[in-house]
Amino acid sequence: MTEELNKTVKIREGEELDIAVVDAFVKERITGLIGVPTIRQFASGHSNLTYSLQYENRNLVLRRPPHGTRPKSGHSMIREFSVMNALKPVFSSVPETFFHVGDEDSPLGAEFYVMEQVDGRKLDRDIPKAWNFGEDEGRKLCISFFDKLIDLHRVDYKAIGLGDFGRPEGYVSRQVLGWNGRYEKAITDDVESFEDVRSWLETNMPKGEVGHSILHGDYRLDNVILSEENPFDIIAVLDWEISALGDPLMDLGNTLAYWTQADDPDDMKMFRSQPSYAPGMLTRREICDMYAERTGYDLSNFDYYMVYGVFRLAVIIQQIYYRYYHGQSKNPTFAVFGERTNVLGNYARQLIEKSNI
């Protein structure tokens, strides 16, 4: 981890914002801002574009979709804006949101919203050496992280006004068919079709769903902000762009698809963006056992959700690569994403071969 808080970089080519336009628009909706903002871009994140608006007396965050071809239902700013607004009173670990602007009224040519910038620590691949974490501290951080996900899954979404946020029933089927279809539309010449993986996911869908809850969709240690004073305290959960209502095991599968561990294949370890096998961190099996114990859900067929999570990640990576492949993004980081799509698809195959389903 770097020692910088909320690390930002110079805005990437092709993703610039007009400072005067943004400043005037924001000041019309948020009073008391002083000066003209310095605008920088957050270094992390491969999907939506996230900017820091640094005023003299306050720092804000602006989120907008990426440029180029986007999935019809993807990158919805109003979606994440709405779920954060509703959650804030009962789930404090979300930033305060200020306003959302639709495509038709946006001076940026795309919808966006503005929220508070939460100051704290955002982990990347490693826990800072200065923290002097041993196994006990690593385990405590890991349990705190997954307890926060369990807390989210326990929120009564109807009681906070999110009963019409989506259709929770049939979520598994919609997601599997949806991601399979998105992959087919994003295939490029240098990736495999993975028809076998897609077919397995459709053929082996669970007969029922364990329950319905708010799903984050992209819950990772590098998507949360930790308190400066107490690194075991998660003060903000970020990136709600694909949140939904549905089967919580799908959410856990998404999270554990990112949760690499020391005995994973070497080509999977290159995806590690969080300290998931630092001393004390739980294995995926231990996390599933903890989750089952604390929620009462049956995880005996969790292999299915893990395969789904890995292949869904392959689709996300491929959608990003598709934009790069067709010249719609100039971010050089994306140049290797086609190769990563193949790695993830092949790992899904390995999981299927080991599965008892």
Distance between CA 52 and CA 153 in Å, rounded? Answer: 30
| pTM of the shown model | 0.87
Distance between CA 314 and CA 208 in Å, rounded? Answer: 25
CATH 3.90.1200.10 location in the chain: 129-354
Architecture of domain 8-116: 2-Layer Sandwich (3.30)
CATH 3.30.200.20 location in the chain: 8-116
Distance between CA 215 and CA 219 in Å, rounded? Answer: 9
Fold of the 129-354 domain: Aminoglycoside 3'-phosphotransferase; Chain: A, domain 2 (3.90.1200)
State residue 9's pLDDT score: 80
State residue 45's pLDDT score: 54
Query: pLDDT 10s digit of each residue in the chain, 357 long?
Result: 333 445 778 887 778 899 999 999 999 999 999 999 999 998 765 568 999 999 999 999 999 988 754 444 555 788 899 999 999 999 999 999 999 999 889 999 899 999 999 989 989 899 999 999 999 999 999 999 999 999 999 999 999 999 999 899 999 999 999 999 999 999 999 999 999 999 999 999 999 999 999 999 999 999 999 999 999 999 999 989 889 999 999 999 999 999 999 999 999 988 898 999 999 999 999 999 999 999 999 999 999 999 999 999 999 999 999 999 999 888 898 999 999 999 999 999 999 999 988
State residue 135's pLDDT score: 97
